[in-house]
Amino acid sequence: MSSSAADQHPAETRDATTQVAGHSAAHPPRSTELASLKIRLRAALRQFPDFPSPGILFEDILPIFADPTLHEALLRSLELHILQVHGDQKPDVIVGLEARGFLIGPSLALRLGASFVPVRKQGKLPGPCETQAYDKEYGQDFFQMQADSIKPGQKVIVVDDIIATGGSAYAAGELINKMGGNLLGFIFILELEFLKGRDKLPAPVYTLLSGQEEKA
């Protein structure tokens, strides 16, 4: 576009660019941009065999948070997915599960103009709380949310780093339902697919880096 044409159509010029990490850059199609970001993020993961128990290939997401450009890529990836799937029906609330959901949730909520609500173990939150039990390998545990943290009808997305058995995510969904929230879905960075945790969940599940591939 020539400078004169740009002067005549300033809105079109603005729409052709996006702000990424404080800099203006050409905006590729969302699907193309998301695919490229996912390649970068997967390459950053570290793998540890037989952790925390034999037969498990543990994928460490912490290198993503150690690099500001990768951290930005993660948030942009999640934002792109939400825009693709929900469009104008963006969430009012992002719910993050203790503890690594707290690494993702607040920044993503800020980016989307949504509020952030934490889900914590029983006894960690002040004031009146809603409580939900969930099963763990060696017994039961309890999750809580502050009773006034979600208003009836608010659109909610749950985020966490990984889905394994799905028990804790299911408990979060039940808490949201108790408060009258509209659960749009669950978002995870990684998934232990052989545990089939997503089958327990009452709303759509999206895993950003689905499919575990052992690195050489």
104-109 long-range CB contacts below 8 Å, 24 or more apart? 104/74, 104/75, 104/78, 104/159, 104/160, 104/161, 104/189, 105/159, 107/71, 107/75, 108/75, 108/78, 108/79, 108/159
Active site residue 193: no
Active site residue 46: no
| DSSP structure string for 96-110 | EETTTHHHHHHHHHH
Name the token pair of 72: 């930005």
Q: Active-site residue among 100, 111, 193, 198?
A: 100
Catalytically active residues, by annotation? 100, 137
